[in-house]
Amino acid sequence: MSEVNILAQEKPKTIKLADGKDYTLPPIDMTTLANIEKTMGIGGRKFISQMDLEPLQTIQLFIYALLKETSPEITREKAGHLVGLKEIPQFSETISTIMAISS
């Protein structure tokens, strides 16, 4: 089993969205998580229950909150239009990580 350096700094990720442009996703750290909670108006365990109740709206709001970290001019509606079904898997690792932390 390989060791994981928990002090290693996560790096931002670049993804190409439906408009063909590259967007930067911030590293997931405590500040980013707190900002996502603030933007979404929910956090922790409520994220998981919200995913059960309204999965698509919750994913859209999460993606908006995440993109807003590095693209503050983005709106929730624009974020939703930038992510088609084929782009959602690019966010799945981040969503899974946050859901694991929240449970």
Quick: pLDDT tens for 55-92: 889 889 999 999 999 999 999 999 999 988 888 887 77
Q: Could you say which DSSP state residue 2 is in?
A: -
Q: Of 30, 35, 50, 41, nearest to 101 (Cα)?
A: 30
Write out the H or E segment, with its range, that includes residue 97: helix 89-102
- The model scores a pTM over 0.75: yes
Query: What local confidence, expressed as pLDDT, does residue 17 receive?
Result: 92
Q: Which residues contact 37 (CB under 8 A, 6 or more apart)?
A: 43, 44
Quick: pLDDT tens for 18-46: 999 999 988 888 888 899 899 999 877 78
Neighbours of 98 (CB within 10 A): 21
Query: What local confidence, expressed as pLDDT, does residue 10 receive?
Result: 75
Domain residue ranges of the chain, discontinuous segments joined by +:
14-102
